[in-house]
Amino acid sequence: MATSAPAWRSPANWLGPEYRNPARRREIRAAFLFLLPNVVGFLIFMVGPLLASLGFSLLDWNLLSAPDMVWLGNYLELFRDAEFWRSLRATFYYLVGSVPLGLVLSLALALALNQRIRGIRFFRTVYFIPVVSSMVAVALMWRWMYNPTSGILNYMLNETFAFLRLPLRAPDWLQSPVWAMPAIILMSVWKGMGYNMVLFLAGLQGIPRHLYEAAEIDGASNQRQFWTITLPLLTPTTFFVLIMSIIGSFQVFEQAYIMTQGGPVRSTVTTVYYIYENGFEWHKMGYASAVAWVLFALILGVTLIQWRTQERWVFYE
Amino acid sequence: MSSGTIAPRATTGLPRTRIETHSGRRRLLWRNVTAYGVLSLGSVLMIIPFLWMLSTSLKDDRQAYVFPPIWIPSPVAWNNYLDTWQALPFNLFFLNSAFVSLVLTVAQLATCSLGAFAFARLRFPGRERLFVLYLATLMIPFQVIMIPLFVLVKEFGWIDSYWGLTIPLIFSPYGTFLLRQFFKTIPLELEDAAKIDGCSWFRIYWNIMLPLSKPAMATLGIFVFMWSWNNFLWPLLIVSSLEMKTLPLGLAYFLGQYTIYWNLLMVGATIALVPVLVIFFFAQRYFIEGITLTGLKG
C-alpha cells in the first residue's frame, strides 16, 4: 500500500465512497464517456471563447502585430465613440419599432386562427414560410420590393394613394436615411410574425375552455372575455415571446448587411454591424470584443429587469 | 323572432331562449368572417413578396424594369435559371450548403443525444452544476464568442475549410438541453428491465432511448438543418474563396457582382429558398411541435 499512486490519482478519493460500488463506478464511467464529446466541444468552442473574449476586450490587437494591454481603455474609448452610440441608437430604434409591432400582429393572427375555423393548417403554413426562409434570400427579395422605381411595393402604394386621392408619395425606403430603418423593421416583422404566432396559438389553446363557457353563461361580452380571460392567461406566453424578441432584436445584423450595408449615411449600422466592422473590416479585435461585451451586458440587463418585473404582470396558475 | 338585431335587447334578463342562441350564432358567424378576413389579407401579404420574386426571376432584362410593373412575364425567360447557374458556381454553393448542413445535423444529433442521455439518466458527481453551466450559456449571443472563435479557427488552420464551417458549430448546449428535457419524459420501466438483464448503458441509449425519441430527434434535426442552411454570419467570417462559399454567402457575393440584374438575383434567391421550403412542407409537424416545445418549456 505504501507504493500506491498519490491520493489524487485515485478517483475514489475525489468522487467519494460511491466509487467503490462497481455498478456506480460503471455508471460514472459511462457518464464520462457519454459526455466527453459534448463537454470537450463545449469547453473549446463555448466556454473558452467566452473567457477569451473578455480578455480580448482589454487588448489593442489587430491580429498581425503583438497585442497591447490597454486594460479598460477600450471601454473608456467606447463612451467617447459617437459611432458606437449611434449604433446603439439604431439598435434601440429597431427594437422599439419591431418588438411591439411584431407582438401585436402575431397575437392578432393567433386570435383569428384560434376561432375553430377551417383551414387552420393552411394559414399556419403560409405564415410560417418566411420563418423558415433564409434571411439573406428574403432580404434580397425585399430589397427588390423596396426599389423606388421598379419595385412592386411603391407601385402599389402610389396607386393606393392616388385611388384614395391622398397627397402622398411612397418614400425611397432604402435610399433614404429616414426610411431605411423602418423598411428593415417592416421586413423583419413580416419574417418573424409566423414564429410568434405559433407560440401564441399554443398558448391560446392551453387556456381551459370551461372558463369561456362560464363567462358566456354570466353574459360577458367577447371584449370582456378577451381582457379578463384571454390576455391574463396568455401572459406567460407573452412574457416568453417578449424576452425572445428583445434578445433577437439586439442581434440584428443580416438585414442591414444585405439591404443597406449600414447606409445611407450609417443610419442602419446596428451594434452587431459595428462589431462586425470593427473586428473584420478594420481588424480591431480588442475594440470589437469590448463592444460585444457591452452588448451582452445590455441583453443580460434587459432580460434580468424583465425577470424581476414579471410578477407584476405575468399570471401563473 | 325573425329579426336578429333587436333580439339581444328583447331578451335581457330572461332565461335562455331560441332567440338568444340565434343571436349567439350570428355573433359567431360575424367573428368567423372577421377572422377569415384578417387571415386571408395576412396570407396575401405573406405570399406577395415570394410571387414577386418568382415573377421577376422569369423576366428578361427589359421586363424586369418596366413601369408599371407586370406580374406575368411574357415571354417567360426560363434561360435566367441557366444563366444564373453559369454566372457563378451555384452548384458548388449548393453542394457546400448541403454538405455542411448534413454534417452539422448528424454530428449535432449525435453529440447532443449522447450528452443529453447522461444528463437525463446517469447519476454522476457534479451533474447539476454542469447542467446549470450549460443552461447559463444559452443566454450568450454568438457575437460575443465569434471573435475568439475566429482566432481559434485561424490558429487551427481551419479558415476557409469545411473543418472551420462545421466543427465549431457542432456542440450545442441548446440541443443538449432540448433532448434532455425529452428524455426525461420517457418512462423508466423499459430501461429497468434492460438493466436487470445486464444491458450496457450504451445499449440502453441505442436500443431503447433513441427509438423512443424519434419525434424529438426529428424536430432537433430539422431545426439544425434549417439553421445551418440559412446560417450567414459565421461562414461570412471564415470563408474567403469562391469555392468554399455556402448558398447565403454565394448570394451575397452575387449581389455584389450583379447588383443591377435583379431578375438573376431573384433566381439566386429562389434557388436558396427552395430546399428548405420543400423540407418544411413535408415536415411541418416537427417545425410546429419544435417551436411550441422549446417555447413553452424553455
Look at domain A77-313 and name its CATH class. mainly alpha
Please give the average per-residue pLDDT across B290-297, as a whole number: 61
Residue B1 confidence (pLDDT) above 50: no
Counted across chains A and B, CB pairs separated by less than 8 A come out at 284
Give contacts of A253 with chain B, Cβ < 8 Å: 143, 233
What are the pLDDT digits (tens) for B86-120? 899 999 999 999 999 999 999 999 999 999 999 99
Confirm if B189 and B62 have CB atoms less than 8 A apart. Answer: no
C-alpha to C-alpha distance for B51 and B240, rounded to whole angstroms: 33
Cell of B40: 386571408
pLDDT value of position B7: 38
- Paired residues of A69 in beta bridges: A59
C-alpha to C-alpha distance for A30 and A24, rounded to whole angstroms: 10
C-alpha to C-alpha distance for A127 and B42, rounded to whole angstroms: 8
C-alpha to C-alpha distance for B85 and B78, rounded to whole angstroms: 12
Cell of B117: 442521455
Given CB atoms, is A155 within the 8 Å cutoff of chain B?
Answer: yes
Question: CA torsion angle for A117, A122, A124, A127 (degrees, to 10)?
Answer: -120
Task: Assign A122 to helix, strand or coil.
Answer: helix
pLDDT value of position A108: 93
By C-alpha distance, which of A64, A9, A206 is closest to B296? Answer: A206
Cell of B227: 439553421
Provide the shortest C-alpha distance from residue A3 to chain B (in Å). Answer: 28
Surface of B (139-158) touching A: CB under 8 A: 139-152, 154
B277, burial (CB in 10 Å: exposed 0-12, middle 13-18, buried 19+) = middle
C-alpha to C-alpha distance for A135 and B272, rounded to whole angstroms: 10
What are the pLDDT digits (tens) for B145-183? 999 999 999 999 999 999 999 999 999 999 999 899 889
Given CB atoms, is B30 within the 8 Å cutoff of chain A?
Answer: no
By C-alpha distance, which of A282, A299, A259 is closest to A63? Answer: A282
Provide the shortest C-alpha distance from residue A168 to chain B (in Å). Answer: 18
Closest partner residue to B115 (CB to CB) among A34, A45, A46 is A34
Q: What is the ipTM of this complex?
A: 0.89
Which residue of chain B has the CA closest to A292? B144
Phi-psi category of A162—alpha, beta or left, where left has phi over 0 and alpha has psi -120 to 50? alpha
Residue B84 confidence (pLDDT) above 70: yes
| Alpha helix (H) residue ranges in chain B | 7-11, 18-57, 61-64, 79-87, 90-121, 127-137, 142-155, 162-170, 173-184, 189-196, 201-203, 210-212, 214-230, 233-238, 247-257, 262-297
Radius of gyration of chain B (CA): 27
pLDDT value of position B298: 35
A48, burial (CB in 10 Å: exposed 0-12, middle 13-18, buried 19+) = middle
Please give the average per-residue pLDDT across B236-258, as a whole number: 94
CB contact under 8 A, A132 and B277: yes
Residue B75 confidence (pLDDT) above 60: yes
Residue B277 confidence (pLDDT) above 70: yes
By C-alpha distance, which of B262, B263, B268 is closest to B248? Answer: B268
Phi, psi values for residue A68, rounded to 5°: -110, 130
pLDDT value of position A87: 97
C-alpha to C-alpha distance for B104 and B107, rounded to whole angstroms: 5
pLDDT value of position A8: 56
Is the preceding omega at residue A130 within 30 degrees of 0, hence cis? no
Q: Where are the domains of chain A?
A: 7-56, 77-313
Confirm if B23 and A219 have CB atoms less than 8 A apart. Answer: no
What are the pLDDT digits (tens) for B267-276? 999 999 999 9
What are the pLDDT digits (tens) for A248-302? 999 999 999 999 999 899 999 999 999 999 999 999 999 999 999 999 999 999 9
Surface of B (255-294) touching A: CB under 8 A: 255, 262, 265-266, 268-270, 272-273, 276-277, 280-281, 284, 287-288, 291-292
Instruction: Enumerate residues 6+ apart whose C-beta is below 8 A from A99.
Output: A242, A245, A246, A249
Instruction: Enumerate residues 6+ apart whose C-beta is below 8 A from A196.
Output: A102, A103, A106, A107, A241, A245
pLDDT value of position B215: 86
Q: Strand runs (DSSP E) across A36-90, as ranges?
A: 59-60, 68-69
pLDDT value of position A164: 93
pLDDT value of position B199: 85
Confirm if B64 and B262 have CB atoms less than 8 A apart. Answer: yes
pLDDT value of position B19: 44
CB contact under 8 A, B111 and A38: yes
Give contacts of A15 with chain B, Cβ < 8 Å: 125
Mean predicted lDDT score pLDDT of chain B: 87
C-alpha to C-alpha distance for B231 and A158, rounded to whole angstroms: 36
- Paired residues of A59 in beta bridges: A69
Given CB atoms, is A314 within the 8 Å cutoff of chain B?
Answer: no
Closest partner residue to A137 (CB to CB) among B56, B200, B273 is B273
Interface test with B, best of A34, A91, A298, A303 (most B CBs within 10 A): A34
Please give the average per-residue pLDDT across B66-91, as a whole number: 90
Residue with the larger pLDDT of the pair B25 and B129: B129
* Low-confidence spans in chain A with pLDDT less than 50: 1-3
Phi, psi values for residue A60, rounded to 5°: -110, 110
C-alpha to C-alpha distance for A187 and B262, rounded to whole angstroms: 18
